[in-house]
Amino acid sequence: MTREEFYAELYALAEPDYRDFNAGLLPGVANILGVRMPALRRIAKRIAAGDWRAFLAAAREESYEETMVQALVIGLAKGSPEEILSYVAAFVPKIDNWAVCDCFCGGLKLAQRHPGLVWDFVRPYFSSPQPFAVRFALVMALNHYMQEPYLDEVLELIDGVKLDHHYVKMAAAWAVSFCFIHDPGRTKAYLQNNTLDDFTYSKSLSKILESYRVSPEDKEFIRALRKNKAAR
């Protein structure tokens, strides 16, 4: 598929109303065409079944949709773990919004097939100065590393994230809530002894309370934490 063919397909699928809707969810993101995710997934699946390396070599970031298709193709591509991770490393600096980040992380099933290798790759991104690189690490953790032997280190790494950026803090809170869902006991102890900033801590408690996977008894514990925090 040439770039001309690729963009001809995108333009044929673009919907102005959906573009405007998506723009409202992605503040600051330019060049949104308005192509829905199911269509982008179909395109990415077709590319991944063919010469995906040539597509990625020629790909640029001329539209939100082109960047998203790159993310999806990398997740679907067949290659050695080391080769795929080289494409992941090249793509992470291109991430500039939460939607591309979160879809990219959710689609990286390589983490399930080679968890240790991918975790060693992901870990340094927790201390990146780039906000969406940190969000990449956080969302990879909550998607793929909510189990032994990773959970203690995940909580430690979340606690070490100090970047003052809205989408980093929201991802950190989301990750803490997933830790709670998967191991309430360990996360209760963490919530009583952590260095999270007030915003991330409060959002973590809110996300836990919003979850249908948390028991009523555990929600009472979280409400008590929130009440104690407010009383300080």
What's the pLDDT tens digit per position in 113-161? Answer: 999 999 999 999 999 999 999 999 999 999 999 999 999 999 999 999 9
Same domain, 7 and 117: no
- Residue 68 tokens read as 């998203």
Closest Cα to residue 126, out of 115, 138, 143? 138
Whether residue 215 sits in one domain with residue 151: yes
Mark whether 62 and 111 lie in a shared domain. no
Task: Give the end of a domain, one of 12, 47, 78.
Answer: 78
Same domain for 184 and 104:
yes
In this structure, are 10 and 72 located in the same domain? yes
Distance, CA of 178 to CA of 151 (rounded, Å): 10
Question: Confidence class of residue 228 from pLDDT cuts 50, 70 and 90?
Answer: confident
Please indicate, yes or no, whether residues 73 and 102 belong to a single structural domain of this protein. no
| Domain membership flag for residue 128 | yes
The pLDDT value given to residue 16: 96
Same domain? 50 vs 116: no
Residue 87 lies in a domain: no
Nearest CA to 166 out of 189, 208, 135 is that of 135
Q: What is the CATH number of the domain that holds 223?
A: 1.25.10.90
Residue at 109 is within a domain: yes
Does 101 share its domain with 49? no
* 193 in any annotated domain: yes
23 with 107, same domain?
no
Distance CA 193, CA 201 (A): 11
Range of the domain at 29: 1-78
Question: DSSP assignment, residue 146?
Answer: -
At residue 225, the pLDDT reads 94
pTM here is 0.95
Task: Report the distance separating Cα 26 and Cα 101, nearest Å.
Answer: 12
pLDDT 10s digits, 29-62? 989 999 999 999 999 999 999 999 999 999 999 9
Q: Is residue 85 part of a domain?
A: no
Domain assignment present for residue 7? The answer is yes
- Specify whether 55 is located in the same domain as 128: no
Kindly state whether residues 138 and 215 are assigned to the same domain.
Answer: yes
Domain total in the chain: 2
- For residue 15, give every residue at least 6 positions away whose Cβ sits within 8 Å of its Cβ, in sequence order, or none: 34, 35, 36
Q: How far apart are CA 51 and CA 79, in angstroms?
A: 12
